Amino acid sequence: MIKVQNLTKDYGHLRAVDNISFTIPKNGIIGILGPNGAGKTTTLKMMTCFMPPTEGTVFVDEKNIYQNSVEIRKMIGYLPEGCPIYTEMNVVDFLYFIAELRDIPKSNVDRRVKEMIDSCGLEEVVGKEIGELSKGYRQRVGLAAALIHDPEILILDEPTSGLDPNQIAEIRSLIKRLGKEKTVLVSTHILSEVEAICERVIIIDRGKIVADASLEEIQSSFHNQNRIYFEIQSKKDADILPEFEAIEGVESLQLFSKHEDEMITKFFINYSKDMDIRPALYNFIKKNKDWTILEMRTEQHSLEDIFRQLTEKGEEVAHA
Amino acid sequence: MHNIITLAKREIKSYFFTPVAYILISVFLLITGWFFGSELFLVNEASMRNIFSLTPLIFIFFIPAVTMRSISEEKRSGTIELICTSPVKDSQIVLGKFFAAFSLLVATIFSTIIYVIILLILGKPDGGVIVAGYIGLLFMGSAYAAIGIFASTISKNQIVSFIVSFFIIMILYLLDKFMYFIPTWLGSILQYISVDYHFQNIARGVIDSRDIIYYLSLIFVFLFFAWNSLTKRKYLST
């Protein structure tokens, strides 16, 4: 459906987007994830024909952003960052304005506006001035404007930023519903958002793609090393860490904290995925009568860890 | 054409939903009213000459105040992204903004029609001169508006837009006011570029194609600059 090819954007000397390529199939929700200033918004602005790339191109259904800009814009519904709308207009006037701008046939306009008011939950604020609305409602008006021409592709730039948890949940469920029949591209820097709604995630850092895979793939690829967290109380000696090194399969130990008074040691054990060392660990600790296990749990790499690892790697390279 | 009308309609509505239009028209009527009254009752003359010679000066402040927000406000609030990602051409955006400003201009100019009615009741004014004066005002106002639209594409800041358009219009207005100090050959060139010279020609009651062409080319050139400056986002940062 969408094919992004070697997309590059320079702002003066700053390269905001650096040779990005990816393809997006029809239907489904794809998340573009990255820290602030990673180039997400710039990428989306180029895809929506707001500004052209320095190099590279975007195809939407074989149409090119250079030659078929107007046709592509017709296919896309776009919610820009911060949801800019005319604050002095009232909700209905605004929707009619967008409907006219989007060339919706006159006979359909009334119906479409009504549908948008229903599906985006705007009944209560219909006659109100947009400037008076809460941020959540404003975001919904923006979403209604992006959806009014029933686009095949929906591009949402940080759709939930600045909303309270209830509003976030509402917008997310709306996006999820839309993802069933449309291609939805959501940019965000909130990881839980990606986990909640996206099927596939493209992680961007410093203008480059650092990961592009389904959510499960990304999580499982980071699971080749497993990790166990231990909290052990010792009766004699708090310095128990070295003893674990002898156990077969242990790759590394990492001290989390040590409380000398109560003789409690908290630490992580990293071991390889090929071998389950948990029985061996249990037997080892059982042998030592001085130790009491206060807590033992396997640690999953959360998306947050993965994200941090992926985006900090670049920083090390940059500093080197 | 359809898009231009849609955009212009929204803009006109926003002039009238916010106090902008009302304040501007009231101020305009207040100033012209004072001069009209003094001419009619003190000098005892049934003519609009005072108003027609004064309005070009008032418009130097007035038109930039109308146009300063047209595109800068869209840039500041980000709504420019909303319309630029709709299937609308940049040239249509510029023309939509221009026609909106033009409509407000027409409303303002024709709010003074009350003076003409008063003149018709009280005396026998020269109809031809008055009609020509109105035509001149429309052309001159439109040229100012085109300059204002261009200035509002330059910056996100309305004040900057106001000052830039004020400055350009001021220069064009003053060009033929320094005729004593400059050589004749240069003087005739400057006179031809000056906005006021052409207006005074028309206001005298002579509608010459040269004056009309002058205003039309001024409008075209500045709308082209505006389009160019709006499209620039595609090549530069911001």
Res A120: pLDDT: 84
Q: Was domain A225-299 assigned CATH 3.30.450.20?
A: no
3 state SS of A169: helix
pLDDT tier for residue B225 given thresholds of 50, 70 and 90:
very high
> Which residue is closest to B18 within chain A, CA to CA?
A88
Nearest CB to B3; choose among A50, A93, A101: A101
Question: Which positions of chain A have pLDDT values less than 50?
Answer: 315-320
pTM for the whole structure: 0.81
If you average pLDDT over residues B159-171, what whole number do you get? 93
Is B6's CB within 8 Å of A97's CB? yes
Give the right CATH number for A2-221 from 3.50.50.60, 3.40.50.300, 3.30.428.10, 3.90.1150.10.
3.40.50.300
Which helix or strand (DSSP H or E) is residue B157 part of? none
Mean of the per-residue pLDDT values for chain B?
Answer: 87
Q: What is the pLDDT of residues A192-245, one digit of tens each?
A: 788 888 888 888 888 888 888 887 777 776 655 677 888 888 877 767 777 787
Res A313: pLDDT: 58
> Which residue is closest to A69 within chain B, CA to CA?
B87
Residue B29 burial (CB < 10 Å; 0-12/13-18/19+)? middle
B6 has a pLDDT exceeding 50: yes
What is the number of CB-based contacts under 8 A between chain A and chain B? Answer: 70
For residue A222, report the phi and psi dihedrals to the nearest 5 degrees.
-95, 5
Nearest CB to B18; choose among A82, A88, A102: A88
State both tokens at A291.
């130790």
Q: Which residues pair with A293 in a beta bridge?
A: A232
Angle at A120 between CA A49 and CA A154, to 5 degrees: 25
> Which residue is closest to A94 within chain B, CA to CA?
B10
Q: Residues of chain B whose C-beta is under 8 A from some C-beta in A? A: 2-3, 6-7, 9-10, 13-14, 17-18, 77-79, 81-89, 233-235, 237
182-241 in chain A: CB under 8 A from chain B? none
Q: Does A66 touch chain B (CB under 8 A)?
A: no
pLDDT tier for residue B232 given thresholds of 50, 70 and 90:
confident
pLDDT tier for residue B2 given thresholds of 50, 70 and 90:
confident
Neighbour-count burial for A138-177, b at 16+ CB within 10 Å, e otherwise? bbbbbbbbbbbbebbbbbbbbbbbebeeebbebbbebbee
A190: how many CB neighbours lie within 10 A of its CB? 14
B185 has a pLDDT exceeding 90: no
All residues of chain B having their beta carbon less than 8 Å from the beta carbon of residue A45 are 81
Kindly provide the ipTM of the predicted complex, given to two decimals.
Answer: 0.84
Domain boundary assignment for chain A: 2-221, 225-299
All residues of chain A having their beta carbon less than 8 Å from the beta carbon of residue B92 are none
Res B164: pLDDT: 94
Which helix or strand (DSSP H or E) is residue A272 part of? strand A264-272
Res A222: pLDDT: 64
Is A82's CB within 8 Å of B78's CB? yes
Q: How many helices (H) and strands (E) does chain B have?
A: 12, 0
3 state SS of B235: coil
